[in-house]
Amino acid sequence: MTEKKVFQASPEAKGEAKKLRLFAMLAWIVAIAGQIFAILKLISDETLVWLVVAIVGILILAITGSTLWKKANKLDPASEAEPTRFFIQNQLGAIMGVLAFLPMVIMILNNKNISGKTKGIAGSIAAVAMVAAGITGADFNPPSVEKYTKEIQEQTAAAQSLSIDANNVYWSKAGNKYHAFDDCQYIKGKALSSGSIKDSWEQKGISELCKVCQKKAAKSSVLAPVKELIEN
């Protein structure tokens, strides 16, 4: 029976995830600060254009934060065994996206010092931006330790079915696939890391075998019995 290879993020992956989460938090903080400024200074008929510009800027910051946060979660996922942490970690982007706009939407719609036209335009744009930030920030297929563990097992089994050594694959620093052969055209001449399929997951979040290597391995697997008959 194949030993179960449980996923565990490497120190390098954890470090990169921590850095990405820090940048995500900074983006969200700036977005919320922009919202506060917009509430205090820009909700008026005279500054409608600048309010719309601020809303767009806040949306960009909110989406940037969510994108970075999701990348961090892929490198260092939460476990489904901890439901509360799992939910918060994977849906924080949606929560922060909504928080970056909800107070502003409420303030615009309840402001008695602006015209109905301004209220309609600004309120609609802010509401749409809030929905966009929330949907963009939500993770509808969140990564988890359990999912990664299952996929590692499936990838290892698939590699073994092609006679690939699952404990000796290769990947490059900038690559997003692992390779069965170090002379593959996509990594030839590049600085390579090597290890098991599990290592490629933990260190780089790589979850897919190179198609060229897959075809080469499949061809070798088919020809192996013929070669053995010829040699014997």
H helices of 76-210, in order, are 83-99, 102-110, 116-137, 145-161, 197-204
Q: Could you say which DSSP state residue 9 is in?
A: -
- Whole-number pLDDT of residue 220: 77
- Whole-number pLDDT of residue 109: 95
**3 occurs within a structural domain:** no
Q: Could you say which DSSP state residue 3 is in?
A: P
Q: Same structural domain for residues 152 and 108?
A: no
In the predicted structure, residue 190 carries a pLDDT above the cut 50: yes
Q: Same structural domain for residues 15 and 104?
A: yes
- Whole-number pLDDT of residue 137: 97
Q: Which two tokens stand for residue 119?
A: 């209220």
Q: Which two tokens stand for residue 174?
A: 């900038």
Q: Same structural domain for residues 125 and 222?
A: no
- Whole-number pLDDT of residue 201: 82
Q: Same structural domain for residues 158 and 120?
A: no
Going by pLDDT thresholds of 50, 70 and 90, the confidence category of residue 159 is confident
Q: Same structural domain for residues 93 and 200?
A: no
- Whole-number pLDDT of residue 229: 40
Task: Please say which residue of 76, 109, 137 terminates a domain.
Answer: 137
Going by pLDDT thresholds of 50, 70 and 90, the confidence category of residue 226 is very low
- Top pLDDT among 223 and 25 is at 25
Task: Please say which residue of 118, 137, 156 terminates a domain.
Answer: 137
- Burial of 101-130, coded b for 16+ CB within 10 Å and e otherwise, reads bbebbebbeeeeebeeebbebbbebbbebb
- Whole-number pLDDT of residue 222: 57
Give long-range contacts, CB 8 A cutoff, 24+ apart: 146-152.
146/79, 146/80, 146/81, 147/77, 147/80, 148/7, 148/77, 148/201, 148/207, 149/4, 149/5, 149/6, 149/7, 151/201, 151/207, 152/5, 152/7, 152/197, 152/198, 152/201
If you average pLDDT over every residue of the chain, what do you get? 90
Q: Same structural domain for residues 81 and 164?
A: no
- Whole-number pLDDT of residue 4: 63
Q: Same structural domain for residues 82 and 163?
A: no
Tell me the percentage of the chain whose pLDDT exceeds 90. Answer: 64
The DSSP H or E segment spanning 192 is: strand 192-195
Task: Please say which residue of 104, 137, 170 terminates a domain.
Answer: 137
Residues in the chain: 232
CA pair distance 74, 42, nearest whole angstrom: 38
Tens digit of pLDDT for each residue in 166-178? 889 999 988 889 9
- Whole-number pLDDT of residue 3: 55
Q: Which two tokens stand for residue 40?
A: 């205090």
Tell me the percentage of the chain whose pLDDT exceeds 70. Answer: 93
Q: Are 59 and 132 in contact (CB under 8 A)?
A: yes
Q: Could you say which DSSP state residue 141 is in?
A: S
**100 occurs within a structural domain:** yes
Q: Are 23 and 70 in contact (CB under 8 A)?
A: no
Q: Same structural domain for residues 95 and 169?
A: no
- Whole-number pLDDT of residue 64: 98
- Whole-number pLDDT of residue 179: 94
Q: How far is CA 105 from CA 35, 124, 129, 149, in A?
A: 10, 8, 10, 42
Quote the domain boundaries for residue 45. Answer: 11-137
Tens digit of pLDDT for each residue in 66-119? 999 999 999 999 999 999 999 999 999 999 999 999 999 999 999 999 999 999
In the predicted structure, residue 225 carries a pLDDT above the cut 90: no
Q: Same structural domain for residues 133 and 45?
A: yes
Q: Same structural domain for residues 18 and 113?
A: yes
Tens digit of pLDDT for each residue in 201-221? 888 878 789 999 999 888 876
Tally of structural domains, the chain: 2
